[in-house]
Amino acid sequence: MLLHSCFQWTTNPQFSIIQVFSNDNDLGTLASALQAADPAETLGNENATFTVFAPANPAFDNVDVQSLTNNPDPLRDLLNFHVVQGEALTASDLEGRESVTTVEGQELQIGSENGTLTVGGVPVSQSDVEASNGVAHVIGGVLIPESFPRRVSYDLAAQSNSGAISSGVEGTVTFWEYNDSQTLVTLSLDNGPTGASVSHPAHIHNEGDGEIAIYLSSLDGTNRNEANDGTSARLVDRSFDTLAGFNGYVNIHESVENLGNIVAQGDIGSNATGTLGAGLSLADNPTTNTKELTAQPNNGDFSNGVPGQLRLRELTADQTLVTVRLDPDGDGEFGDGPTQATVSHPAHIHGSGGAIQDYLSPVDGTDSKARSSQIVPNDVLNSDGIYVNVHESAANLQYVVSQGDVGSSSGGGGGY
């Protein structure tokens, strides 16, 4: 038996679908989202007919609505996935169908669960909400089309410990859908860099045995300034769905030397309810350039320096994923062993005058891949005369172990 609608406009409707949504507090979040995208104008068209599957306010509890309204193109696709044009399909009509085609272009599967009508696997809580230009069905979840760039974020809670950051820090880990087999994982600290003279390693751990499953890029805890925003990034070889369902948690540690002092921790995947949001609007046909990092002799623990490579992967229209890859044994192969240091190796983009323009993520000395990544604005990379330094440690920044030109001064491929 279908649930009866409580809306006052179900008989002799005088309002368009968009007016129905705007005049009901239970659909206020949907109405606001519609106002930020073209579907609002479309659904107000009295000369067209629509069927709309309308998520109620609680359906958006775990959705970053602000990220949606700030990204009109993905938002439009998402909302159009809730709309069927040309038909006013009642619950009875839907029960006789296996699927419907949405304005977004993809199909929604129609079914039932324990006698309740479902759309795209989401139950209909109120059916047959009539309007002057169609009918709406209130649903208990937000429908996500396959074409929608996804992201999910999880909170990281501060962990009290006996180390230098005894109160811990709060932060967020976010999984960004990149392609079918890779996910971009970013970390951010709520209050920016910790101000500690160390870098903070981070990992995804298995829930069962607590072992490290995936190394994430470390966070540079040093100077709080415009060039260091307390974030890191890493492209991992796991699909978005795999990570979003991973049975584990994330730890951020005080330092490589003091891994026992956990400063932030949070469950992920199947252990937590994340917040969904609009993902990356990835660049079409992205380019990837590589630059050589040459070993720099110095008076530190890595006296011969460490060779490496800088990989610059176009991410969005105005951002690039910059990856530092070190080759500790100098065999020309990357990802075959760590530097074996009990520190992380900070890295920075320097301007032609030597000032730091952007902080890259430090390379964890115990990471077998010996790499780290950071998202960098293109305007930084397009500056003349910029170069990258990789240092021995936060405590020994005077020892540069690897260096390479980046911008137009480096030649070989142009741009970044």
- Burial status of residue 105 (CB atoms within 10 A of its CB: 0-12, 13-18, 19 or more): exposed
Q: List the Cα angle 82/86/89 in 5-degree steps.
A: 65
Output the tens digit of pLDDT for each of the chain's 416 residues.
344 344 443 434 788 899 999 989 999 999 999 988 876 667 878 889 999 999 999 999 999 988 888 888 888 889 999 999 999 999 999 998 999 999 999 999 999 998 899 999 999 999 999 999 999 999 999 999 988 889 999 999 999 999 999 999 999 999 999 999 999 999 999 998 998 889 999 999 999 999 999 999 999 998 766 778 889 999 999 999 999 999 999 999 999 999 999 999 999 999 999 999 989 989 989 999 999 999 999 999 999 999 999 999 999 999 999 999 999 999 999 999 999 999 999 999 999 999 999 999 999 999 999 999 999 999 999 888 999 999 999 999 999 999 999 965 433 333 33
Is the CA virtual torsion 266, 269, 275, 279 positive or negative? Answer: positive
Domain with CATH 2.60.40.200 in the chain: 150-278
User: Residue 12: its pLDDT value, please?
Assistant: 40
User: Residue 393: its pLDDT value, please?
Assistant: 95
Question: How far apart are the C-alpha atoms of 20 and 59, rounded to whole Å?
Answer: 18
**Three-state secondary structure call for residue 158:** strand
Are 269 and 248 in contact by the 8 Å Cβ rule? The answer is yes
Which pairs with CB-CB distance under 8 Å and at least 24 residues apart come from 376-380?
376/319, 376/320, 376/321, 376/322, 376/349, 377/318, 377/319, 377/320, 378/318, 378/319, 378/320, 378/416, 379/318, 380/349
User: Residue 138: its pLDDT value, please?
Assistant: 97
Are 391 and 400 in contact by the 8 Å Cβ rule? The answer is yes
Question: How far apart are the C-alpha atoms of 177 and 243, rounded to whole Å?
Answer: 10
User: Residue 6: its pLDDT value, please?
Assistant: 43
Question: How far apart are the C-alpha atoms of 161 and 254, rounded to whole Å?
Answer: 9
Six token digits for residue 383: 């500056």
Six token digits for residue 116: 């309740």
Buried residues in 353-376 as b, exposed as e (16+ CB within 10 A): eeebbbbbbbbbbbbebbbbbbbb
pTM, two decimal places: 0.86
Are 135 and 88 in contact by the 8 Å Cβ rule? The answer is yes
Question: How far apart are the C-alpha atoms of 34 and 65, rounded to whole Å?
Answer: 11
Question: How far apart are the C-alpha atoms of 212 and 338, rounded to whole Å?
Answer: 15
Q: 150-278 has which CATH code?
A: 2.60.40.200
Cβ count near 294 (within 10 Å): 12
User: Residue 66: its pLDDT value, please?
Assistant: 87
- Report the CATH architecture of 17-139: Roll (2.30)
User: Residue 409: its pLDDT value, please?
Assistant: 40
Cβ count near 32 (within 10 Å): 16
Which residue has 């429908």 as its token pair?
A: 143
Question: How far apart are the C-alpha atoms of 300 and 136, rounded to whole Å?
Answer: 69
User: Residue 72: its pLDDT value, please?
Assistant: 83
**Three-state secondary structure call for residue 88:** coil
Domain with CATH 2.30.180.10 in the chain: 17-139
Q: 288-409 has which CATH code?
A: 2.60.40
Six token digits for residue 28: 């206020």
